[in-house]
Structures are given as structure tokens and as C-alpha cells.
Chains A and B, each alone.
Chain A
Amino acid sequence: MSKRDDASILPANPPHGEPKLGYLPVADIPHKPRVTDTDPKAARRAERQVAGMFILSMLLVVLFVVAFVTIDVTTVIYVPVLGEVGASNLALGLTFGGAVFLIGAGAIQWAKKLMPDVEVVQERHNMTSPKDDTEEAAATYERGKEESGFARYPIIRRTLIGALALFPIPLIVMLRDLWQTPAGANPVEILSSTSWRDGERIVPDIGHNTGENVPGIRPEEIPVGGLVSALPMSIKDLKDDVVANMRDRGKSAIILVRMDPEEIRSQQGEGWDYQGILAYSKICTHVGCPIALYEHRTHHLLCPCHQSTFDLADSGDVIFGPAARRMPQLPIRVDGEGYLVAASDFEEPVGPSFWERG
């Protein structure tokens, strides 16, 4: 043991005599003395530099505290190159960063200029344990095995293995309620339907108060070439239920686009448009980003996340990018009061694919 630990420190001298071309990685390194080794003046200068950095560091800490107390956190100042920046953040960052940096710079200057720079050699030992140690360990193991009777009592052995295998099961079972599934609910059905149903009013998406003061959208309010992000009217009933509200926004969000009816080459269902107004899901069929990048001249809809492109004049088919499925279309009509409403729910699940989707 003690021999292995005995770390001998030797200067880096070649132990194998004269170096021979091509064969000897072991050779003496000519050591050049530094200025600080030979010139006491330079050494004193280095000493002062190191101490200077430490002093400056202390000063910066004081400045940090001053800046923390005096600079209002909302103050914005103009700094060339950086532009408009928060004065507090800038001052705190520079003083604290500087203080910390200078400690490091001082320490390294100290090490480089004043501490010895002659490399030393330490021997390495093979990682493999000496044979005796291995044999002793094996013998101890055998004795332990014998004394415990692990090999002799197979029934204990097997039941122990069984018990150890089963005990984590509760830990896994308890994860079941990560989703407290409502009775009879199953993800496939949940993913396959949205809040749209026949007669559901379409309201423009104006954020938190959507559906509050706007009774709906009239067809004449959408110009040809226009795009409106919209939601079902029922979203206003979910105003106080954040989870349901977010869920509906993430699933029932649609876009309405209007084009010259002549330009519509195909739709997902006969007469699903209303006078050239088409409603499509807003949720990308690739991985679910909401889409609203619409080029009205070509009727292309581009997902900003992964650039899947859909042709809204042609059933929402994929014309470019990684999405495999077309954008689901929502059939729409106008209700008795002249507002746009859904004619039914989507006929296929919206959003990204899933295993049971088929």
C-alpha cells in the first residue's frame, strides 16, 4: 500500500541518458528563467501588480454596494454600442464581474510570475490491483458467501430477489395520477374532438377578453386576402378556468381566410366555405405550433417553427416541409343573425399525430 502511495517528486531529468533521434520521448527541457527569477525589481513589480489587482477588486465591491443602493432599478441609460440599457444591471454587472475577475487575474499573475515554473514528475501506477489484493478480496468474498449461506439457501435467495424486484412497483404505480383521468376519459377521444359544434359562433381572438364584447364575425368584415385568428364563442365561459381556457386556445384556435371563390381549387368537404371564406385549424399538424404566417397571393400558410407549408386553396395540403398531414378544415356557415358559425366539429383530429390516430 505505502509503496503505491509514495509519490516521489523529481525534477524532469531524462533517466535514460542521451536522447536518441526518434526513440526517446524522455529528454531534458531547457528551462529559461523568467525576468522575475533574475531581476528582483521585476519580481517586486509583479508583486505590486498582484496586490494592485486585489485592491482594485475590493474597491469594486464597495462600488457594487454603492451602485446597488443608489441606482434606481428602472433607470435606463444610453451607452454607445450597447444602446439603451438598464443602468443598475450594467453597474452591478461591471463592478461585481470586475471584482471577481480581478481576484482570478491576480492569482494567476501570482502563479505565473512568482511561483516556481519548473515542471516536476510524478510516477504513475498501473490501475490494475496487485495480484495479492485481488486474491484477498476474492477470498473475503468467498468467505462472506459461505458465512451468509447465500448459495446454500436457494429459497431465501430467490425470495429476496423477488422482494427486491417488487418493492419499486408502488413507486411507479403512484405516478399513475400524474394525470387524474376523469371517469371514462381517454386521450384518444379527447384529442379527437374540439369545442366546435354546429352553430358555435366564431369570434376574433383578442386575447383574454375574447368573446366578451364582440358578438361574432360577419362575413363582410373579412376582406378578400385577409386573415383572422379566431376562437369559439364558448371561450368566454372559460375565462376563469385557466386550464380549460389554455386547452381550448391550444386546440380550437382557427384561422379564417378569404379568397376569391374562383381560386379555391378544392376543399376538404363540399361547400365547407362561406362565400370564399375558409376556416382552418391554427395548430400545425407537425408538432403543434400555431400558424398565422399567410401569404395571401399564393394562399400558402407557413409554420414559423419548422416551415411546413400548406396550400389553403387546395384543401390545406402540405406542399413543403416536415408535416405529413394536411391542415384540418372546419366547415362554416352563417347563422340567423348573419354571423359566421361552425357547421360541425372538425372531421379529423387537429394538431400533431398520435399513435391511435390511424
Chain B
Amino acid sequence: MSTTTPANTGAHPVEQVGGQAATFVDQRLGSNRFLKRNLSKVFPEHWSFMLGEIALYSFIVVLLTGTYLTLFYKPSMAEVIYNGSYVPLQGIYMSEAYASTLNISFDIRGGLLIRQMHHWSALIFVAAVAVHMFRVFFTGAFRKPREFNWIVGVALTTLALAAGFTGYSLPDDLLSGTGLQIIRGILQAIPLIGTWLAFFVFGGEYPGGDIISRLYSAHILLVPGLILALVTVHLIMVWTQKHTQFPGPGRTNNNVVGYSLLPIYMAKAGGFFFIVFGIIALLSGLVNINPVWIFGPYTPDQVTAGTQPDWYIGWLDGALRLMPNLETVLLGYTISWNILIPGVIIPGILFTGLALYPFLEAWATGDKREHHLLDRPRNAPVRTGIGVMAIVFYGILWMAGGNDLVATAFDLSINAISRTLQVLLIVAPPLAFIITKRTCLSLQRRDRDKLLHGYESGRVLRLPHGEFIEVHQALNEKELAVISSKPDHPVLPAPQKADIDGVRNPNYRKDMLRHKVSAFFYGDNIPKPSAAEIEAGQHHAEEQAAIEAPLHEYEERDVIYNAHGGVLHHPGMPKTNAEQAAEQESRT
């Protein structure tokens, strides 16, 4: 110990112990170098950066509460007679899995709280993952150098769905059993191997006696293990690459502006963990979730109306509901398009497309630069349009997943709802794309105007010679920095068919395609004003300011401000009737 004398010898005893511990670890791992580098690491701040944090924290809550549940839950399909505290089900035959879930809910103190926390935090986890992904997508945070992390994120999303579904089925209640039955139907629809696959998964003919214990091992070991591993990779990558930041004063592609890890970010992020944890616990104390005792035990010949999966599976169920009933028999083999397309092909395309998107966009735009400054969604209209299109597509499927609830709630015909949604599923996404793209371009135009003339203050002034002008005010620095952060995205040049010597360009078709795609992507973007234009704009603003200056002074002198900061009266205003009357009275 003599080799290291802590500099802070006069420190608090706790700190002295801490210092000794740090030394002890450092002598074995060299950890102080890591601490030196990382304790002051800077993280940029924005509310949307908390979405990923919510996902992480709710996942931790899922792990904690899930571990607790395994102490009481029995993953067995053996039949027992229930004799716990819940009176309506006493004496009923059910699986041990369901009985132990009832036991957790009714007989173990705090059991229901933990079970509900597990379910709530799982729902919040998937939701936070989804919204976090939207944030990353719409701001272009997936661009180079973060493509790997995007793919890890897509894998995590898939795993989150898998974790949710495997867990949903474990209580073995009537609702979740019906979900399993649907999964069996989907497995069976897979060409060539589907029939055998279903038998292997269920250990024989549906439902068999194995599925609960198999789902259990997937749910508590396999899937969370993978999630934990990938989350670690995800975070390490964020750490090494440093977090992206939104444009703002002082923020460039080459720096990070924010708060350092110790103490501010540690306090804020650590505090936020407790807030997420606390809200989940409060929610679980107050709001019922998945009351499995209402649904009763599972038997494959019973079903309840208004069956609903957890929210994140709703879109798949909706896809199953909307798909027209196509089935073909080819050479004696059945291909069930009505199940394959919604159950396998659409999710497959969606997730593959999602995973490949960063590479597709980089190819389309020819953009190979590193990006650490986030895009504003409006500055990438096609990407934003694609994102909104996907959300609308998803939203319609999701709505279709609850078409029976919509029908009952609004007293509508379920057939009419389904038909309408079928049409909307085809028509609405492209429409959403066009509207979004146009909206983005309009916003770009407004940004350009702001850069050139400042913003319209809404204050109309009458000049001494009678002219009315609207006062334009200079942008504040934050706005200026944000707007002028817009990157230039040149469209890839159109290739020549042949060079000057008449040699044919071998890559002509490929280059032409890329030219067209990149023109589609960024061709409509409103160019940022040139230096000369800004100069001219500034000049104009100065002129206007010169005109305004005396007026302003005049104005300031007589203005009477009211309580809300508005102007009650200034000399340019006509007199009110009351004032005119008072004036006349004083004259007479």
C-alpha cells in the first residue's frame, strides 16, 4: 500500500475507504486509467435521448421482477385442482402453471404487485424500444458510423417481441392459450417443414404437454440472455462512438456538447432509473394488467370473444385478420397465403428492410461521411416519408387487430371495418408518404425564408409616410444554429452514356439508377441560401432596421405595457371610443 498515497489524506473516512478500494482494484486491473478517461465523458442532452434510457431501465425492472416470479411460478402443464384463495376458480381443474400464477396473484404477499410490475415493465420496454427506434430513424442517427448499432437495435426489437410473446403464454390462461393455438396455425402454414416443425415445437400434436416448460426456458434463459448480451454491445458501441447530438449553438460534427458523466449525468440518469422504476411500481399498484383469473384456465375447445394479444403483437394479429382468404394447392401441396403473408412474409420483409435501411440509404444517396450531428426530419423528406409510411402501415394493422373492439365500441359492422381497413392499408401509406414529404419541403422553405429575412414578428407598423410593414426580427442564436445546420446533399451526377472518345460507359445503367434514386431522395430539397443571398437579405434587414429605428424609439417612449406584456396603447393606435369621449369631455 505504501506505493500509493491517496492525495486526499484529509478526506472523509468513507472516501478514504473508497480511495483504498479504487487503488486495490487499480493495482489488479489498471482501472484508474479507464476512470480518468470516462468519468468526465460528455453526454449531450435532449428529451428524446431518454427513450433509450426508459427501455434500458424498464428492462432492468423486467429482469428483477422476473427473477422474483421464477421463485413461485411452476412451468408445468400437469393437471391440479385449484384450492387457493380465489373463490370463483376453487375446485376447477387447471394446469400447475395457471394455478401457480393464481397463487402468485392471490396468496403471496406482494406477488400480484411483482407480477403486474413484470407485465407493465415488459409493455413499457417494448414501447420504449419502438419509440427509441423511431427517434433514431427520423433523426438519421443510424448513419455511418452507427449502422452496426442500428442492426443490434433491430435484433433487440425482435428479441423484445419474442420475450414478450413467450412470457405472455406462460400463465396458461384461456387468452394466452388461444395465442399459442394461433402460433401453431402459423407454424403449420410454413411450406415444406411447417407440419413437422409444429410437432417438434409442441412435442407432438397440439397442445401436448411440453410447450409451457419449453417457452419457460426460452423466456427466462435464452431470450433474456441474448437481450442482455446485445444490450451490452449496444451500450459499448454508444460509449465508444459517443452519443450523437442535435444541432445547436457550439455543436458540430466534431464535438459533443453536454454534461459530463460525473456528477451531472450520473445523477440525472441514475435518478431517471429510479423514476422509471417508481412509476412502474405505482402503475402496478394502481392499474390492473392481464387479470388472468378472469379468463379461466386454458382448454383448447374454449375461447373468449374480444381476444386481444399484448399491444406489440396486435399488428400481426391485425394482419391475419385483414388478409384475404387466399390458399393454393399445387401438386397436392397446400400453400396458405392467408397465413403465410401476414404471419411470416410481411414481418420478414419489415424487419429485413429495417435492418438493411442504413445501407440502402447510404447507397441511394452516396453519402459515405461520418455523421454525429443529427438530421432534422424535415431535411430528409424521403426518409421521413418512408418512416411515416411504415408507421401508418403498422398503425392500420394494429387497428385491425382490435377491429372487433372498434365494432362493439362504435356500434359499427365488423365487415365494413375490415373492408375499409383493407383498402386503407393499400391507399393510406403512399398518401402518408406524399403528405409527409410535401410537409417537410414546406418546412424547408420556411427555414430558408427565416435564414434570409429573420422571422415574422407579427408586428405590423405604419411608417410616417403611410406604408405598412411587418417587422422581421433576427433569429436568436439557437434557432440560427439549428436552421443553418442543414447539410447539403448533392444529387449524384447523371452518368454519360459514352465518354468523349465514344467509349461506352460500362456502368451506365447502374449509375443512372443511382442518379435517379438519389434525385428521388434529395432532388427536391430546398437549397440553403447562398452567401450572396444571405448578404442581400441581411442588407435588406439592415435597411428595414434603419427605417424602423426612429419609430422604435418613438414607440418605446409612449408604450404602456399591460400585465401580460402586450401593448395596451401606443401612439400609432386609433383611440378607443372611451378615450375619444373622455377627450371631448375634457375639451368642453
Q: Which residues of A contact B (CB under 8 A)?
A: 5, 7, 9, 12-14, 19, 21-30, 68, 73-74, 82, 85-86, 88-94, 96-108, 110-112, 115-117, 119-124, 126-127, 175, 178-181, 187-188, 190-191, 205, 207-208, 229, 231, 242-243, 246-247, 249-251, 253, 282, 286-293, 304-308, 318, 320-325, 351-358
| Residues in A neighbouring B285, C-beta threshold 8 A | 89-94, 96-97
Q: Is the C-beta of B20 less than 8 angstroms from some C-beta in chain A? A: no
**Given A24-B481, A178-B201, A289-B182, do A306 and B277 touch, yes or no (CB 8 Å)?**
no
Q: A93-B283, A288-B185, A306-B320 are in contact. List 13 more A-B contacts (CB 8 A).
A: A22-B528, A30-B477, A104-B271, A107-B270, A122-B42, A122-B242, A127-B241, A289-B178, A289-B181, A307-B418, A320-B418, A354-B189, A356-B332
| B365 located at the interface, meaning its Cβ lies under 8 Å from any Cβ of chain A in the complex | no
Which of B188, B306, B370, B538 has a CB less than 8 Å from the CB of A353? B188
Q: State how many angstroms separate the Cβ of B226 from the closest Cβ of chain A.
A: 17
**CA–CA, A325 and B326, complex, Å:** 10
Known: A108-B268, A121-B257, A251-B205. A19 touches B199 (CB 8 A): no
In the complex, B113 has a CB within 8 A of chain A:
yes
Whether the Cβ atoms of A354 and B338 lie closer than 8 Å is no
CB pair B327 A179 closer than 8 Å: no
Q: Is the CB of A25 within 8 A of B196?
A: no
Q: Which 7 A-B pairs have the closest CB atoms?
A: A93-B285, A101-B278, A287-B185, A107-B271, A104-B274, A250-B300, A97-B281
Q: Are the CB atoms of B325 and A321 closer together than 8 Å?
A: yes
Contacts A101-B274, A121-B42, A355-B334 known; A21 to B477 CB distance under 8 Å? no
Report yes or no: A253 in contact with B333, Cβ–Cβ below 8 A.
no
The chain B residue sitting closest to A21, CB to CB, is: B534
Say yes or no: A101 contacts B317, CB within 8 Å. no
**From A305, which residue of chain B is reached at the shortest CB distance?**
B307
Whether A88 contacts B480 by the Cβ 8 Å rule is: no
Does B451 interact with chain A (Cβ within 8 Å)? yes
Q: Mark B187-203, 1 if CB is under 8 A from A, else 0.
A: 01111111110111111
Residues from chain A with Cβ under 8 Å of B113 in the complex: 89, 92-93, 96
Task: Given the known inter-chain contacts A124-B254, A126-B370, A178-B201, please indicate yes or no for A22 contacting B278, CB distance below 8 A.
Answer: no
Selected A-B contacts with CB under 8 Å, 18 pairs: A26-B251, A29-B477, A88-B110, A92-B113, A93-B113, A101-B275, A119-B258, A119-B259, A121-B256, A126-B370, A179-B204, A187-B199, A246-B299, A249-B300, A289-B178, A307-B403, A320-B415, A353-B327
0/1 string, B284-312, CB within 8 A of A gives 1: 11101000000000011111111100000
> Looking across the interface, which residue of chain B has its beta carbon closest to that of A69?
B109
Stretch in contact with the other chain, from B152-160, B162-170, B206-214, B217-225: B206-214
Indicate with 1 or 0, residue by residue over B114-150, a CB within 8 angstroms of chain A CB atoms: 0010000000000000000000000000000100000
Q: Are A108 and B79 in contact (CB under 8 A)?
A: no
Q: Is B274 a contact of A100 with CB atoms below 8 Å?
A: yes
Asked whether, in the complex, the Cβ of B254 is within 8 Å of the Cβ of A304, the reply is no
Q: Which of A106, A246, A322 contacts B338 (CB 8 A)?
A: A322
Complex Cα distance A7/B283, Å? 42
Residues of B within 8 A of A (CB): 37, 40-42, 45, 77-79, 85, 92-93, 95, 106-110, 112-113, 116, 145, 178, 181-182, 184-186, 188-196, 198-210, 241-242, 247-260, 263-264, 267-268, 270-286, 288, 299-307, 317, 320-327, 329, 332-336, 338-339, 342, 370, 372-373, 403-404, 414-415, 418, 451, 477-478, 480-481, 484-485, 528-529, 531, 534, 537-538
Give the distance in Å from the alpha carbon of A30 to the alpha carbon of B250 in the complex. Answer: 11
Q: Is the CB of B185 within 8 A of A352?
A: yes
Cβ contact of A92, chosen from B110, B264, B484, cutoff 8 A: B110
CB distance from A310 to the nearest CB of B (A): 11
Q: State the Cβ distance, B447 to closest chain A Cβ, in Å.
A: 11
Cβ of B207 and Cβ of A12 under 8 Å apart?
no
Residues of A within 8 A of B198 (CB): 187, 354
CB distance from A240 to the nearest CB of B (A): 8
**Closest residue of B by beta carbon distance from A284:** B185
| Distance of A229 Cα from B301 Cα, bound (Å) | 9
For residue A21, which residues in chain B have a CB less than 8 angstroms away from its CB?
451, 480, 484, 534, 537-538
Contacts of A293 in B (CB 8 A): 305
Residue of A nearest to B401 (CB): A306
Q: How far is the CB of B202 from chain A (nearest CB, A)?
A: 8
* Bound: A250/B180 CA distance, A: 12
B543 to chain A, nearest CB (A): 15
A280 to B252: give the CA distance in the assembly, Å: 70
Q: How far is the CB of A139 from chain B (nearest CB, A)?
A: 24
